[in-house]
Amino acid sequence: MKKIVLSLLLTACALSAAFANSEGIAWDRAPNKTNDLVSLQHGAKLFVNYCLNCHAAAYMRFNRLTDIGLSEAQIKENLLFTTDKVGETMKVSMDPKQAKEWFGGVPPDLTVIARSRAGQGGTGADYLYTYLRTYYRDESKATGWNNLAYPNVGMPHVLWQLQGERKAVFETGHEHGHEVRVFKGFEQITPGSMSPLEYDQAVGDLVGYLQWMAEPSQNTRVQVGVWVLLFLLVFTFFAWRLNAAYWRDIH
C-alpha cells in the first residue's frame, strides 16, 4: 500500500513539474504604483486606447478618474471614445454576439480583474504584469500569438506594436522520467516602438491602473487603517494607566 501511495505521489510531482514547465511560468512581482498619480494617468491612457476597445469596465465611471488627478476637461478631451458623458461607465460598443464569434467568447469585464486573478502564484497584479510581458509569436494559433502565463490564450497581443514581435525558445528536457518543454528565453523578431525597459514600465503603469480601478479607495482605506491602529495604541496606553491607578487606590 505504501509503495502504491509513494508511486502516486511521485507521479503527481512529475506531472506538476511538467505543467509548470510546459503550461505556465512563475509570476513576476508587479511594481506597486497605486500611489503614483503620473503612472496611474499613463495607465488610464493605455487602458482606454488598448483595452477598452474589446473589454469593458462597466463598474467604473469616467469621472472617477478625477481621483488620480485628471480634470473632467482632460477626461473629455483625451479619454472619452465610447460616450460623450463623463458620468457614464466604461462600456464598449462591441456586440457580445459578434465578440463571441470573433474570439470564441465574450471578452471579460476588467473592472476587478486585478483582484480576481490573484492565486498561489501571487497577486492579481503579478499575474497581469507577467501575462502582458510574455506574449510570443505562434503561427499554429488562430490569432498568431501565444502566452507563457496563459497558454493557448484566445486574446491576441494588443500591445505588440509597443513591444515588437518575439518568439519563445524552448528546449526538450526530462524530469522524473517525463519529457517536458523547458522555456529558455525570448528572441526578438522585430523591434517595437519602445525599448524592453520602457515597455516593462508601461505595462507596470497599466497594471497599476487596473489595480487601482479594482478598488479606487484602497489607499484611503490603508491610511485610515493606520490612524485607527495608532488611536487604539494610544487608547490602550491610557486604559492601562487608568486601570493601574484605579487598583492602586483600592489597595
Report the C-alpha gap between 159 and 173 in whole angstroms.
31
**What's the mean pLDDT in 6-26?**
42
DSSP tag of 204:
H
Instruction: Give the pLDDT confidence score for residue 4 in this predicted structure.
Output: 36
Give the pTM: 0.79
Cell of 15: 506531472
Instruction: Give the pLDDT confidence score for residue 2 in this predicted structure.
Output: 38
Beta pairing, strands 89-90 & 57-61: antiparallel
Q: Taking a C-beta distance cutoff of 8 angstroms, is the pair 39, 208 a contact?
A: yes
Instruction: Give the pLDDT confidence score for residue 173 in this predicted structure.
Output: 79
DSSP tag of 67:
G
The predicted-structure confidence for 51-98, as pLDDT tens digits, reads as follows 998 899 999 999 999 999 999 999 999 898 877 789 999 988 788 888
Of 45, 13, 58, nearest in space to 180 by CA:
13
The predicted-structure confidence for 142-165, as pLDDT tens digits, reads as follows 899 999 999 999 899 999 999 999
pLDDT bucket at 251, cuts 50 / 70 / 90: low
| Residue with grid cell 510531482, as numbered in its chain | 13
φ, ψ for residue 121, nearest 5 deg: -75, -15
Instruction: Give the pLDDT confidence score for residue 151 in this predicted structure.
Output: 93
Instruction: Give the pLDDT confidence score for residue 24 in this predicted structure.
Output: 62
Report the C-alpha gap between 102 and 126 in whole angstroms.
28
Q: Taking a C-beta distance cutoff of 8 angstroms, is the pair 24, 168 a contact?
A: no
Superfamily designation of domain 2-216: Cytochrome c-like domain (1.10.760.10)
**What's the mean pLDDT in 164-180?**
86
Q: Taking a C-beta distance cutoff of 8 angstroms, is the pair 68, 74 a contact?
A: no
128: part of which helix (H) or strand (E)? helix 124-131
**What's the mean pLDDT in 19-34?**
74
**What's the mean pLDDT in 181-200?**
94
